[in-house]
Structure 1
């Protein structure tokens, strides 16, 4: 069974990668033509001002390609079944992508970076998290697995709060990380590797297949997003990816390891929280600029150097997550 699943996963990944490489040039030209371009903040880094006009909403491609290929394959291949776990992950991927699309659309039309208000965005994210919890709760337990001690603890209805926190925090963390060419997509590909292993070892082969297909689609997108980026994923892509990995962690019962594996995303959002809180209290900044990747840029490090170092950190945390899983 595992060999069949890996054959399906690799075949699906190849199809997704090829489709992305074929689709992306045309999508970039189309977004250029309709002027769906990035608008950099006035208070942003000077080196980023040249990114104005670069097409955004590229996340549409790496959402639709694996989702449509998977759904089509589900009619023919048992390793691509549409079970409850897969439906939750697919709904999270598309649902949070739609929230991001709405945010991007407002930004593009108004030509500023305001988009959805934080309250509206948070509310929509929380509502989706509640829906996923209710679907998941109907057929699964509210237990979480604790690494190191290898025990399950039943949180009961407190699991509901964990799910809402996990989805809203992860989507916003991934969103904040998408600020440098190639950073977010590369980190997400790295973070998805351990979850592929977890899904395989748990015999959740449909989930494993979907993860591999999404990673392959991201790899195709990354070719066009590396510095100097020809396209950005926008909130469409970043919110979708945050929802995807949060849902994957939930159905694989790896909620705690999500924090470890995705700690670079966590560090990014923590840097913003720390910066804002400290500035309101003291009027001084801890970081040169937040999120964290801008702190290093502001210190003179090039985009590519920051991305490389953050990717290396992502690999270390991914390995740490794998190690904790097997201990």
Structure 2
């Protein structure tokens, strides 16, 4: 990381801390409290009423840092736009939950439609900028393969899948924020290696903003990021991967996100086909909680796993 990026990283942390001090009292005053699932871990019931929509903290910090830096390249703009569009979907979902005082917001179909629209905007940008290529970089063998028109539905699947995976991961204090920081760290290094310094800046700015947010979101959390935050992080990470032509590395570099999703798929499929559950509770982080692990232990172990997977990702890409 260059000295200039280090400065912006530190400033982004400071701005996020400031935004947290400003926004959390506002969210509390507006009674924007989280409704905890009754069928979730019993230990989480005490979190009921904790302010949510806290994703606005790191999102506002990210936008402020981008404007202050003057780094307004087309790639940074599309990354900000992608992040904001998924944040808007999450905000609508959070707003419904808060105003209706329930755990369910938008329907699955409504979420999926808005997420596909967000994915299409990224693809349209690639087309307009004449950088749309159906060549897909394959990790491990380190070569590219042309998949033709299949590239479009594939990228939509990657983006929507990543967005929902990060959303599922946001179930413990600091889990989604911390694992996202680690994954963004990998992509910052990847962007630097590929000499795409605009995307590197975006990753660093978002990492710093998340570090500042994590001060309030660590256990015991004073605020939750809500779908506003988790969907926006999924949008940001997937957009970065697509623009760097590294979407196939996401299952490794974002391994925790995909393991969490896989645990839900396995749980649902097993119960429908066999009438039996594989895990004590899904997503996977709840299984470990129900097994007797403390929430903080689950989070730390998942951080370590995500870090190891990102190290592996570096060597299979470069």
TM-score band w.r.t. shorter chain: over 0.9
The equivalent of 1:88 in structure 2 is 78
- Deviations 1:64-122 (CA, angstroms, capped at 9, x unpaired): 21123213322xxxxx2422x22221111111000000000000001111100011001
Matched, 1:47 2:43: yes
The equivalent of 1:133 in structure 2 is 123
Q: How do 1:32-71 residues align onto structure 2 when only pairs under 5 Å count?
A: 32-71=28-67
* TM-score computed with the length of structure 1 as normaliser: 0.94
Partner SS for 2:181? helix
Matched, 1:169 2:161: yes
Deviation, 1:25, is: 2.3
Is there any run of 5+ residues in structure 2 with no aligned partner, and where? Answer: none
Quote the RMSD (CA, aligned, Å): 1.2
Is there any run of 5+ residues in structure 1 with no aligned partner, and where? Answer: 75-79
Matched, 1:123 2:113: yes
Matched, 1:7 2:26: no
Q: How do 1:267-306 residues align onto structure 2 when only pairs under 5 Å count?
A: 267-306=259-298
Deviation, 1:32, is: 0.9
Q: Is the 8 A contact 2:19 2:61 kept in 1?
A: no
Deviation, 1:259, is: 1.5
Q: Is the 8 A contact 1:9 1:210 kept in 2?
A: no
Task: For 1:290 and 1:241, locate their aligned partners in 2 and report how far apart those are by CA, in whole Å.
Answer: 21
Aligned length: 316
Which deviates more from structure 2 when the two are superposed, residues 10-19 or residues 221-230? 10-19
Deviation, 1:157, is: 1.4
Task: For 1:61 and 1:115, locate their aligned partners in 2 and report how far apart those are by CA, in whole Å.
Answer: 21
Deviation, 1:40, is: 0.3
Deviation, 1:137, is: 2.5
The equivalent of 2:139 in structure 1 is 147
Matched, 1:29 2:21: no
Task: For 2:43 and 2:139, locate their aligned partners in 1 and report how far apart those are by CA, in whole Å.
Answer: 42
Which deviates more from structure 2 when the two are superposed, residues 263-272 or residues 145-154? 145-154
Q: Is the 8 A contact 1:8 1:209 kept in 2?
A: no
Matched, 1:99 2:89: yes
Matched, 1:19 2:10: no
Change in CA separation of 1:280 and 1:230 when aligned onto 2, cut-off 3 Å: same
Task: For 1:81 and 1:177, locate their aligned partners in 2 and report how far apart those are by CA, in whole Å.
Answer: 31
Task: For 1:127 and 1:29, locate their aligned partners in 2 and report how far apart those are by CA, in whole Å.
Answer: 33
* TM-score computed with the length of structure 2 as normaliser: 0.97
- Deviations 1:143-176 (CA, angstroms, capped at 9, x unpaired): 1111222211122211101111011100000000
Task: For 1:220 and 1:81, locate their aligned partners in 2 and report how far apart those are by CA, in whole Å.
Answer: 23
Deviation, 1:8, is: 3.1
Task: For 2:196 and 2:24, locate their aligned partners in 1 and report how far apart those are by CA, in whole Å.
Answer: 35
The equivalent of 1:204 in structure 2 is 196
